[in-house]
Amino acid sequence: MIDGVLLKGYGGFYYVYAEGRVWECSLRGRFRVKDQEFLPGDQVSILSEEAEGPHLAKATIESVGSRRNALTRPAIANVDQAILVFAMTSPRPDLNLLDRLLIQVIEADIEPILVFTKLDKYRADPLNDGPDHALTDVYRNIGYKVFEVSSETGQGIEEIRAHLANKISVLAGPSGAGKSSLFNALSPGKKLKTGRISHKSKRGRHTTRHVELMVCAGGLVADTPGFSSLYLPEMKRAELTDFFPEFAQRRGLCRFNSCLHDKEPNCAIKAALENGEIYPERYEHYLIFLKEVIEAERKY
């Protein structure tokens, strides 16, 4: 028996990474009877059959382990970290989307890592006359792991590569942000199709169609299509603060224990906002999300 990780399922076969190679696996009969659902990232035990060449061997899946976590959009299991990829320019980062993804990832008990790409293009644009790290320092100061990179020059790539070893990671973020280019820079010799930016809309075109784990920098990485930007996890309105670390650390300082940091007087969050201790756009997004959570509560 060999322990491995499911990379993908395709055409009735399942491809498992184990012992430094990829195995083409069929299912033991009992799994077909149970109609077992398999997801990329599942920990499986396989029984080796006759090898076919040096790179592809055949096996059967004998057992599947319990999942530590699972995402439904995209469908993938046992994720250690989510690499949230946003361009510093072309297109400009959608921070509302970024804050939504942070909530989704944290709610799933997955560690977020923020990667801002196209640093070389940002520096080359004369309109960007501010400091390189003004925006990224906002999230770094909150406590998130943040990296600025250029897939063209290689700046920052080694730092990210060091965070991938022995982990299952997902790449998520808007189309055109440079996810595929980042993967190609992290894993030379393996090429994902990269998309072009529409000059009219300044937005990218999706290039990824299905979920598949790929070996990269000593770990497994999925370029995840369809990572939803439209929903927030089901929660109570008072729980939204938990997803904003700079708010949560001020818990208990408001006049009212039930303070939602909106229209209430003597609010510690609004005082911190006025003092420049909370980034204004983060607070704006909090109010947008709070409205959505309250509307969702009423539907339930």
Q: Is 173 annotated as a binding residue?
A: yes
> How far is 117 from 147, CA to CA, in rounded Å?
8
Q: Confirm whether residue 45 is marked as ligand binding.
A: no
Cβ neighbour number for residue 166 with a 10 Å cutoff:
8
CA 282/CA 8 separation, integer angstroms: 37
The answer to whether 25 is a known ligand-binding residue is no
Cα separation, 121 vs 85, in Å, equals 15
Task: Flag whether 181 is marked binding.
Answer: yes
Token reading at 172 = 């998520």
**48 assigned to a ligand binding site:** no
58 is in an annotated binding site: no
The residues that bridge with 215 in the sheet, in sequence order, are 220
Nearest-5° Cα angle at 228, 222 to 231: 145
Q: According to the annotation, is 204 in a ligand binding site?
A: no
| C-alpha closest to that of 156 among 125, 115, 194 | 115
Confirm or deny that 267 is annotated as ligand binding. yes
Q: How many CB atoms lie within 10 A of CB 103?
A: 20
Asked whether residue 261 is marked as a ligand-binding residue, the answer is: yes
Beta strands in 153-290 (DSSP E): 168-172, 213-216, 219-223
CB neighbours of 269 closer than 8 A, spacing ≥ 6?
Answer: 247, 250, 254, 259, 261, 278, 283
Tell me: is residue 201 an annotated ligand-binding position.
no
**Residues whose CB falls within 8 Å of the CB of residue 152, separated by 6 or more in sequence, listed in order:** 120
151 is in an annotated binding site: no
Residues in the chain: 300
Q: Is 174 annotated as a binding residue?
A: yes
Say how far apart CA 55 and CA 1 lie, in whole Å: 19
Is 179 a known ligand-binding residue? yes
233 labeled binding residue? no
Q: Is 227 helix (H, G, I), strand (E, B) or coil?
A: coil
Binding residue positions? 117-120, 173-181, 254, 259, 261, 267
Binding residue positions for Zn(2+)? 254, 259, 261, 267
Binding residue positions for GTP? 117-120, 173-181
